[in-house]
Structure 1
Amino acid sequence: MSKTIGIIGGGNMGRAIMAGLIKAQLYPADAVLVYDLNPAALTTLQTELGVQPMNSAAELVATADVVVIAVKPQVIDRVLTPLRASFRAEQLLISIAAGVTLAHLGTVLDPKLKLVRVMPNTPALVGAGMAGVAVNSQVTAAEQATVLAIFNSFGRAQLVPEDLIDAVVGLSGSGPAYVYLFLEALADGAVAEGMPRQLAYEFAAQTVYGAAKMVLSTEEHPGVLKDMVCSPGGTTIAAVEVLEEHAFRGIVMAAVHAATEKNRQLG
């Protein structure tokens, strides 16, 4: 594992990365460097997590072995261009900016650098993220393992070809929003049947969490697990019939496609 890691951008995702690394003991807090344009944010991060604030992005790049760019895609060129001459050939540069390709990073900086493109998601904030990782040809197998360890520290991560990153965005990147809509609808249905709303949210959230854990723990096909709940002539198959009549699966598939296409446009 590299000795120091620097994060440019102290927003929600940057913070999630810092907290995950420290909690998993991949890096001690004093080896996690951070720079943000907002001095108050830096002070808060130092106080709450013990990370080391840097005076500038250039100072961070000059110090860190691994650099994570955790800024919005619309400002990434503005952030990286002044740093072009600061990056070193042995450094790992990780971008989590949606839609920003490895080729674009290479154009802004240098294609000979070790460039990594990652699409994490917001459940990283609670240690349950899912991240797709794509790398350029300069990144070694050992360095790939380092990147995966970083993002596994606050959830799960998988190495994917870059041409699948758009689909990663449509699925896991945007997917939490679909799940929240579904969860809210589940709770609304129970509220309509007389259940208090906060209780309905608890039942709905635990049900979604438990079902997801069943898929990951058993490695069974979701259809097999669905059939386990659907007794012949029972309540669940009656509900599934209604979902099918209203094209539930087709609507979800269309949503994933829409988010995937939007990310292609951003790129």
Structure 2
Amino acid sequence: MNLQFRIGFIGAGNMAFGIAKGILSDSVPSTNVKVSAPSLRNLGRFQELNISTTHSNTEVASCSDVIFVAVKPVLVPTVLGEISQHVTDRHIIVSVAAGVTLATLEGLLPHGSCVIRLMPNLPCVVLEGALLLARGTHAKQEHSALLCSLLQRCGLVEEGPEAWIDIHTGLSGSGVAFVYLFAEALAEGAVKMGMPSGLAQKIAAQTVLGAGQLLRDSNVHPAQLRSEVCTPGGTTIYGLHALEQGGVRASTISAVETATARAREFGRNSAVPESRK
């Protein structure tokens, strides 16, 4: 990769920080990265990575080749309106705003702009994220290949149609919180039975980590792995019965469905009016 390749972040939240950590390498030194945010609150941790920071979004746009737009969905029109006149055909605009469609993004930028939607999740901050990207009308395979190369240290990176992005938001973006809720409940169950809280939380975290790594690395369907833990009349099948009585499977499916629907709602609310296209 060209050592002069420059990357900018507009927005300094957890997603921007996780991605920034992942892309820093010998081919993308910290001196080639710049981050903007309106306040100093989140910029300090970027400065600890020797990344240059600013309060000017236009400064980031002017000096970057790839621009990650990592702000809340409601702020996307304002931010893109601010930087639009600085976007040229050299830029790749990467939006990580939940629900904001490619059509909306393209409608807010100069005609022909190269736009990619990216949905990461919180474990990017520990380089164990799950990221899905979708190309816009003018983004080519070489652009998505470049982005995948940049992001490879952030975790699992896949490409798919835009219709999958909102589903990925419900599955993996919001799904992280669902896993935390389950881990919390696991620990609380152990506390109820007499284990100290600190130890229960530590073991619950390791249980989730180990189960996830085994599921990922074995390439085996989760139902098969689950069956391998169960023995006739044993503790696990009794516990699974209790979970099914509580509707855990149906509730989890509904949670992903509801989160996906909410992401799609964001997309409808952020759509660019025909008069602005």
Q: Which amino acid aligns with 1:30?
A: T
Indicate yes or no: 2:152 matched with 1:152: yes
Q: Is the 8 A contact 1:26 1:150 kept in 2?
A: no
Scaled by the length of structure 1, what TM-score is found?
0.94
Give how far 1:97 is off.
0.5
Q: Which amino acid aligns with 1:11?
A: G
Give how far 1:174 is off.
0.1
Q: Which residue in the other structure is 2:74 paired with? A: 74
Give the RMSD, CA atoms, in angstroms.
Answer: 1.5
Q: Which residue in the other structure is 2:20 paired with? A: 18
Q: Is the 8 A contact 1:20 1:154 kept in 2?
A: yes
Equivalenced residues, count: 265
User: Which is worse superposed, 125-134 or 149-158?
Assistant: 149-158
Quote the Cα distance in structure 2 between the aligned partners of 1:192 and 1:40.
Answer: 39
Give how far 1:94 is off.
0.2
Give how far 1:54 is off.
4.0
Say which SS state the counterpart of residue 226 (structure 1) adopts.
helix
User: Which is worse superposed, 52-61 or 246-255?
Assistant: 52-61
Quote the Cα distance in structure 2 between the aligned partners of 1:41 and 1:255.
Answer: 30
Give how far 1:37 is off.
1.4
Give how far 1:205 is off.
0.7
Give how far 1:145 is off.
1.2
Q: Which amino acid aligns with 2:99?
A: G
Distance 1:208 1:40, change over 3 A: closer
Q: Is the 8 A contact 1:103 1:111 kept in 2?
A: no
Give how far 1:25 is off.
3.8
Give how far 1:218 is off.
0.5
Q: Which residue in the other structure is 2:274 paired with? A: none
Q: Which residue in the other structure is 1:90 paired with? A: 90
- 1:166-205 alignment, distance < 5 Å: 166-205=166-205
Quote the Cα distance in structure 1 between the aligned partners of 2:157 and 2:145.
Answer: 10
Give how far 1:178 is off.
0.5
Quote the Cα distance in structure 2 between the aligned partners of 1:264 and 1:40.
Answer: 30
Quote the Cα distance in structure 2 between the aligned partners of 1:47 and 1:88.
Answer: 28
Q: Is the 8 A contact 2:68 2:93 kept in 1?
A: yes
Q: Which residue in the other structure is 2:271 paired with? A: none
- 1:1-267 alignment, distance < 5 Å: 1=1, 3-22=5-24, 24-39=25-40, 41-42=42-43, 44-45=44-45, 47-54=47-54, 56-267=56-267
Quote the Cα distance in structure 2 between the aligned partners of 1:72 and 1:40.
Answer: 16
Distance 1:118 1:214, change over 3 A: same
Quote the Cα distance in structure 2 between the aligned partners of 1:45 and 1:51.
Answer: 9
After superposition, the C-alpha distances for 1:190-223 in whole angstroms (9 at most, x for unaligned) are 1011000010011111011111101111100101
Quote the Cα distance in structure 1 between the aligned partners of 2:65 and 2:124.
Answer: 23
Q: Which amino acid aligns with 1:235?
A: T
After superposition, the C-alpha distances for 1:7-60 in whole angstroms (9 at most, x for unaligned) are 1112222122212211x4441010111112124644x24530111224622122
Higher relative contact order (CA 8 A, sep 6+): 2
Q: Percent identity?
A: 38
Distance 1:129 1:26, change over 3 A: farther
Scaled by the length of structure 2, what TM-score is found?
0.91
Instruction: Extract structure 1 runs of 4+ deviating beyond 3 A.
Output: 39-42
Quote the Cα distance in structure 2 between the aligned partners of 1:141 and 1:78.
Answer: 29
Q: Is the 8 A contact 2:57 2:82 kept in 1?
A: no
Q: Is the 8 A contact 1:102 1:117 kept in 2?
A: yes
Quote the Cα distance in structure 2 between the aligned partners of 1:61 and 1:244.
Answer: 51
Distance 1:195 1:45, change over 3 A: closer
